[in-house]
Amino acid sequence: MTMTRRQKVKIELIKKGIPAAEIARQMSVSRQAIYQTVDGIIKSRRLRKAIADAIGLRVEDLWPSNGNGHK
């Protein structure tokens, strides 16, 4: 079974002990905005970078192509 991007991000955040709510607080957005960014609904480069930085990956690792969600 292949993991979704959301599952991968959640697992990595848990491993690092970082709640999505903490990233949201630091970025002054809702936790929902964080997960909408993970799912590709919101295409914010700023939020994508914050999420990738929090789990120690490159933006391109989570959102392949040009890193901003556009193929």
Architecture of domain 5-59: Orthogonal Bundle (1.10)
Token pair 């556009």: residue: 70
> 67 or 45: whose pLDDT is higher?
45
pLDDT digits (tens, 9 = 90+) for 4-49: 888 989 999 999 999 999 999 999 999 999 999 999 899 999 999 9
Distance between start and end Cα atoms, the chain = 24
Q: Residue 29 is which amino acid?
A: V
- Contact at 8 Å (CB) between 62 and 51? yes
Q: What confidence tier does 65 reach under pLDDT thresholds 50, 70, 90?
A: confident
For the stretch 53-64, pLDDT in tens is: 999 999 998 888
Q: How many CB atoms lie within 10 A of CB 4?
A: 11
Model pLDDT, residue 55: 94
Residues in the chain: 71
CA angle 5–33–14, rounded 5-degree value: 50
